[in-house]
Amino acid sequence: MWLTGPRTIRGQLIAALVVFEMLVLGGFAWLLIREQNAELELRISRRLEFQASQLAIEAAAAIRGGNVAPIQELVSGMTRFPSIKAVQITDPTGRTMFSSDPAMDGKITLSQKERVYLRYLYQPVIFSPGKSHEVVAPIRVGDKVVGLAWIYPHESEDRLQLRSLMRLSLVSGVMVVLGCTLLASLLARSITKPLGVLMRATRQIVRDPEDMRGFPLEVHGRNEAADLTLAFNRMVASLDEQRAGLNDTLAILDSMLANAPIGLVFLDRKYRFVRVNQFLAEISQKGMTHYLGRTLDEAMPSSAAQQLRPALEEVFRTGNAMRDIEVQGSLLASSARPLTWLVSVYPVRSGPAQEVRWVGVIIVDATERKRSEEALRKTEKLAAAGRLAASIAHEINNPLEAVTNLLFLLRNQSSLDDEAISYAEMAQHEVARVSEITQQTLRFYRQSTVATRASITELMDSVLTLHQGRVGSLQVVVERRYRDDAELFCFSGEMRQLFANLIGNGLDAMMPAGGKLRISVRRSRSWREPCTPGIRLSVTDSGCGMKKATIERIFEPFFTTKEATGTGLGLWVSAEIIRKHGGRVAIRSREGSSPGCGTIFMLFFPELPAVTPEMEAQPVGDSVNA
């Protein structure tokens, strides 16, 4: 198992410092010991040479004096020096003559080469056989070597000073290492403590980015660690601000995605749904889990999927958005109701290369808009037909007057018999009816631009005259309950349009079985404000009635229960006319085919003495059926 170094900066700093100190101290100790060892060797050599020279000089003096007895005392006395282990004097051949230790006798054996070398020796020579030292000095009497002085030093005594120096160096080195280590530990702690705080703070942010407890960090000192802590605090504050902004943006986007009144879908390159908003799940009557993870063909009806796939492929291929693609069909496989959708497909890019990773699909229900466009076209046709009818009625009116005059002249002819006169009277009566119808048609389609005081009963009768043909064909009994004094300050043309819509809807509700149409007009007071006088009128039919849901939407534009013939604008226009005249409307209806079923429209118009600002507004459009 390999040893690993410390993982902390403090440990690494201390370990590196200890290793460095050991290397420096080791190198210093090695150099010191080397120098001391060399100096010791030099001192030993000089001492030995001096001692050997003195011994040789004194021995030579004793030999020259012929008294060799003091030589033994001299040899024995030399060993009293602590640095000398043994001393002996030999002849030139190496035979012991005097020695401090009898055991040394005969120990020296000189070769012929050594004898020749020592014979011509003039000064002491140090030999180092192995790890020991020995010095030899020639004893000369005159020019002749008569003997050799040998000194053997105590090696341990000579090395004692060196070992003491080594111990002192070792102790000093240990003290220096410990002191430096302690100092380095204190310095490292001042560095690593702020780093440790930063490390714990970083781990806290990584573990829970929303946890801002303990921030900002305390700053101690004015060194680089303090600057680093300040920079870290600023970074955390900036990250918190950016995260808050990002969370707000994500919350806004999620809220828009969830609550937008349009369908939003995101698909990957395999056409799998990765996200769907709640609106699409609701209009398709399927949960969001129905879409997530499933492909386009699996989650949507085949007709809708086939219409969407080419657009998705094109956006993935080109990276260009496609807008306002009209898709026909339903998002429900079981629904038979025809629907129209406007679909926009746009790329969603991601990554450094900004490749198209997903596509977003915006789905808007355009069914009502489509129906509105169709209803507007029908309305325009009806308005054109109304203008044409008014034009025809105007053109017919002049010939009718001529025919009426001719019939009058014909009746006054004395040559006609009674039967012919009766025929002329019948023809004149029918022509009068045609003239009345044309006059009512002209009044109906000619919008009044000035409010006048008009009789509500006369306006109602003029509208009933236009519907007389339908009333007769449906065998509808019309019951009138009028008050002759029911006059109102109003736009008579718009009132005719209002009454025509109510009567027309009542007749439609009684198809094809017929029934009773009851119309009531009288002076009264408002059912909400009893102090307000005005005209109350009601139109009651005995038809099939309406559901509550239908009543709630009956005044919405383009809402109709007559898919083939209705435009959904009649009652919407009627509501605008009622509002314009300051009136109110109430509806009661009972659905069914039994007696007592039907619908009643109750209207109240306040009695206005003059034109109000609302009545000065532009008159509403032509009459249409609801």
Average pLDDT of the segment spanning 220-236: 75
Long-range contacts of 60-66 (CB under 8 A, 24+ apart): 60/139, 60/140, 60/141, 60/146, 63/139, 63/141, 63/146, 63/147, 64/141
pLDDT band at 388; cut points 50, 70, 90: low
Q: Which domains does the chain have, with CATH numbers?
A: 9-160 (3.30.450.20), 216-253 (no CATH), 260-365 (3.30.450.20), 368-446 (1.20.58), 448-626 (3.30.565.10)
User: Strand, helix or coil at 292?
Assistant: strand
Q: Is the pLDDT of residue 625 over 50?
A: no
CA–CA separation, 138 and 133 (whole Å):
17
Long-range contacts of 372-376 (CB under 8 A, 24+ apart): 372/557, 372/558, 375/558, 375/560, 375/567, 375/568, 375/569, 376/567
Instruction: Please give the pLDDT value at position 96.
Output: 81
Reading phi first (left if > 0) and then psi (alpha if -120 to 50, else beta), residue 596 is in left
Q: Are 318 and 326 in contact (CB under 8 A)?
A: no
pLDDT band at 592; cut points 50, 70, 90: confident
Instruction: Give whole-number Cα distances, 392 to 91, 242, 397, 433, in Å.
Output: 174, 74, 9, 16
Q: Is the pLDDT of residue 333 over 50?
A: no
User: Per mean pLDDT, which of 253-257, 258-262, 541-545 is the most reliable?
Assistant: 541-545
Percent with pLDDT over 70 in the chain: 82
Mean pLDDT of the chain: 77
What is the SS3 string spanning 567-613? CCCHHHHHHHHHHHCCCEEEEEEECCCCCCCEEEEEEEEECCCCCCC
- pLDDT, greater one: 456 or 29: 456
Q: Each residue of 329-344: b (16+ CB within 10 Å) or e?
A: bbbbeeeeeebbbbbb
Each residue of 164-192: pLDDT tens digit? 777 777 787 778 778 777 777 777 666 66
Chain centroid, CA 131 distance in Å: 84
Residue 163 exposed, middle or buried by CB count within 10 Å (0-12, 13-18, 19+):
exposed
Instruction: Please give the pLDDT value at position 617.
Output: 43
Each residue of 451-507: pLDDT tens digit? 788 888 888 888 888 788 888 888 889 999 987 778 888 888 788 888 888 998 888
